[in-house]
C-alpha cells in the first residue's frame, strides 16, 4: 500500500515530525506500523482477508467451472442412445462366426470393424420424408475396418439392394423372425441395427465390434452444426424428386441439400444405388476434411455445437454409448492418415432373377478375408470395385 495514501498522519503538519523522529515500529502512529495496519486508519480491508477472499473466489470459480463442464458432459452423454447389437446368441451360426462381445475400450490396440448405418426411418421428425409408421430400413450401410496399428482404414459400402440371407433375429415385439432370403436393407426393418449387424456377420464371417446409426434428421443437423460441407458436381443438377438444385462446380451445402445430395438417384449420376454409394463416400471424405480444416476441433463453442448435434443424432452399441468412449473412438480414427483410407464398394454381381437387384460377388469374400486378417485390400478387389463404379447398369 502506498505511504501517501495511508491517512491523516500524512498531513503536511505531521510530515516534519516524521522526518525529525525515527520511525518506531512499536508506535501505532509510525509509518512502518501504518504500512501494515491499513484498515484502522483508512477503512481498507486487511491484506490477509483480501488474500483469503481472493483464494476463496478463485476456488468457487474453479468449482463452478468444473460443475459447468460436468453439466455439459452429462448433457452430451445423456443425448446418446444405445442398442445391444449382440443380444442374440446367433442361433445356427458356426461357433467361429458367432459374435463376441465388443471390447469396452475402442482404443485397445486391436483392429476394429464398425458398421455405419443411415436409417430411412420416417417416424417422428422424419415423417416429412415418407409415410409415417412405415418402418425403417438401412438406406446406407458402410463397413469400416480400422487396422490395429491405426495406420490405415477401409470403408466398404454394402449395396442396399443386395440379395442376402438374413438369419433369425429378435424383432421389436420380442419374437424371433424366420431366416429369409431377401434384400439386405430389409434386415434393419426386421430387427433394427442388431439384425443388420448379424446379417453382415453371417455373410462376411467378420465380428462387428461397434455400430453407429443416424437417421435423416440427425444427418441434417450434424451437417448444419459443422457449418455445411463442400460438394463438387461436374454438371448442374435440378432434381424435382429430391428437391436438389445445385450448379456445376463446388458448393457448400446445408443439411437439407446434403441429404438430397447423398440420397438422390434420379437426374444425378446413372440413377442407380451403386452410383450414389460413391457419392456418399465422397461426401463422408469431404466432411472429415471440413472438420479437420475449419477449426471446429480447436474452437470449444463450435465443437460443442457439433457434439450436441452428433450425440443427439447417433444410436450406438453400449460399448460406444458414452462421450468418453466416443472420444476414444474418434482419437483412434484421427490416428489414421487421411491418404491411407481406402473407399470401395463390396464386389457385387447382377442377380439374374431380378435385374433390379444385385448379389455379392465371389470376390467379396476376398475383401472380408483381408479384413479378418487385418491385411490391405487385394489389388484385384480394388480394380473390380473401380470398374463396377464406372458401369452400373446390366
- Distance CA(214)–CA(349), nearest Å, equals 28
Q: How far apart are the first and last CA of the chain?
A: 90
More confident position, 16 or 70:
70
pLDDT of residue 119: 84
pLDDT of residue 295: 85
49 pLDDT band (50/70/90 cuts)?
low
> Taking the C-alpha atoms of 145, 147, 152 and 154 in order, what is their torsion angle to the nearest 10 degrees?
-10
Q: Where do the domains of the chain lie?
A: 3-42, 83-390
CA angle 164, 165, 166 (to 5 degrees): 110
Cβ atoms of residues 348 and 159 within 8 Å: yes
Condensed to tens digits (0 to 9), the pLDDT of residues 248-261 reads 999 999 999 999 99
C-alpha cell at 123: 417416424
Q: What number of CA atoms fall less than 13 Å from residue 254's CA on the CB side?
A: 2
Condensed to tens digits (0 to 9), the pLDDT of residues 358-384 reads 999 999 999 999 999 999 999 999 999
pLDDT of residue 148: 96
266 pLDDT band (50/70/90 cuts)?
low
pLDDT of residue 200: 97
pLDDT of residue 171: 92
C-alpha cell at 351: 442377380
Q: From the options 1.10.760.10, 3.40.50.720, 3.30.930.10, 3.40.630.190, give the CATH code of 83-390.
A: 3.40.630.190
Least confident of 184-188, 251-255, 264-268: 264-268
59 pLDDT band (50/70/90 cuts)?
low
pLDDT of residue 108: 55
pLDDT mean across residues, the chain: 78
Query: What is the total residue count of the chain?
Result: 394
* Number of neighbouring beta carbons within 10 Å of residue 178: 9
- Distance CA(238)–CA(249), nearest Å, equals 14
Cβ atoms of residues 237 and 268 within 8 Å: yes
Whether the pLDDT of residue 123 is over 90: the answer is no
pTM of the predicted structure, to 2 decimals: 0.75
- Distance CA(261)–CA(253), nearest Å, equals 9
pLDDT of residue 136: 52
Whether the pLDDT of residue 308 is over 60: the answer is yes
- Distance CA(287)–CA(72), nearest Å, equals 25
The percent of residues in the chain predicted with pLDDT above 90, rounded, is 51
Whether the pLDDT of residue 193 is over 70: the answer is yes
More confident position, 174 or 133:
174
- Distance CA(283)–CA(219), nearest Å, equals 12
- Distance CA(104)–CA(325), nearest Å, equals 8
Q: Is 389 exposed, middle or buried (0-12, 13-18, 19+ CB in 10 A)?
A: middle
Amino acid at each position: 500500500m502506498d505511504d501517501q495514501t495511508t491517512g491523516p498522519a500524512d498531513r503536511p503538519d505531521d510530515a516534519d515530525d516524521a522526518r525529525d523522529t525515527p520511525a518506531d515500529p512499536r508506535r501505532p502512529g509510525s509509518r512502518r506500523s501504518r504500512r501494515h495496519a491499513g484498515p484502522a486508519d483508512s477503512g481498507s480491508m486487511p491484506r490477509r482477508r483480501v488474500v483469503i477472499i481472493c483464494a476463496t473466489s478463485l476456488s468457487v470459480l474453479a468449482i463452478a467451472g468444473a460443475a459447468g463442464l460436468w453439466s455439459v458432459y452429462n448433457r452430451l452423454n445423456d443425448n446418446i442412445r444405445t442398442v445391444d447389437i449382440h443380444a442374440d446368441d446367433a442361433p445356427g451360426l458356426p461357433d467361429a462366426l458367432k459374435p463376441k462381445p465388443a471390447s469396452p475400450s475402442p482404443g485397445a490396440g486391436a483392429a476394429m470393424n464398425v458398421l455405419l448405418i443411415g436409417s430411412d426411418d420416417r417416424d417422428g421428425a422424419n415423417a416429412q420424408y415418407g409415410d409415417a409408421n412405415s418402418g425403417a430400413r438401412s438406406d446406407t450401410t458402410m463397413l469400416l475396418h480400422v487396422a490395429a496399428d491405426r495406420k490405415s482404414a477401409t470403408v466398404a459400402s454394402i449395396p442396399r439392394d443386395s440379395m442376402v440371407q438374413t438369419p433369425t433375429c429378435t424383432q421389436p415385439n420380442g419374437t424371433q423372425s424366420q431366416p429369409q432370403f431377401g434384400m439386405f436393407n430389409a434386415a434393419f426393418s426386421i430387427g433394427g441395427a442388431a439384425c443388420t449387424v448379424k446379417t453382415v456377420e453371417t455373410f462376411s464371417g467378420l465380428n462387428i465390434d461397434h455400430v453407429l446409426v443416424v437417421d435423416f434428421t440427425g444427418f441434417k443437423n450434424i451437417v448444419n452444426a459443422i457449418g455445411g460441407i463442400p460438394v463438387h458436381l461436374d454438371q448442374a443438377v435440378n432434381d424435382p424428386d429430391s428437391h436438389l438444385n445445385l450448379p456445376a462446380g463446388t458448393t457448400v451445402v446445408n443439411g437439407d441439400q446434403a441429404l438430397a445430395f447423398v440420397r438422390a438417384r434420379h437426374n444425378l449420376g446413372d440413377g442407380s444405388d451403386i452410383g450414389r454409394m460413391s457419392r456418399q463416400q465422397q461426401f463422408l471424405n469431404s466432411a472429415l476434411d471440413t472438420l479437420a480444416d475449419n477449426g471446429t476441433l480447436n474452437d470449444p463453442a463450435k465443437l460443442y455445437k457439433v457434439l450436441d448435434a452428433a450425440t443427439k443424432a447417433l444410436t450406438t452399441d453400449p460399448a460406444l454409448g458414452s462421450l468418453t468412449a466416443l472420444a476414444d473412438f474418434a482419437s483412434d480414427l484421427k490416428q489414421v492418415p487421411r491418404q491411407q483410407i481406402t473407399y470401395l464398394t463390396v464386389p457385387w454381381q447382377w442377380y439374374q432373377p431380378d435385374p433390379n437387384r444385385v448379389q455379392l460377388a465371389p470376390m467379396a469374400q476376398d475383401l472380408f478375408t483381408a479384413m479378418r486378417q487385418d491385411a490391405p485390400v487385394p489389388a484385384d478387389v480394388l480394380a473390380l470395385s473401380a470398374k463396377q463404379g464406372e458401369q452400373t447398369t446390366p
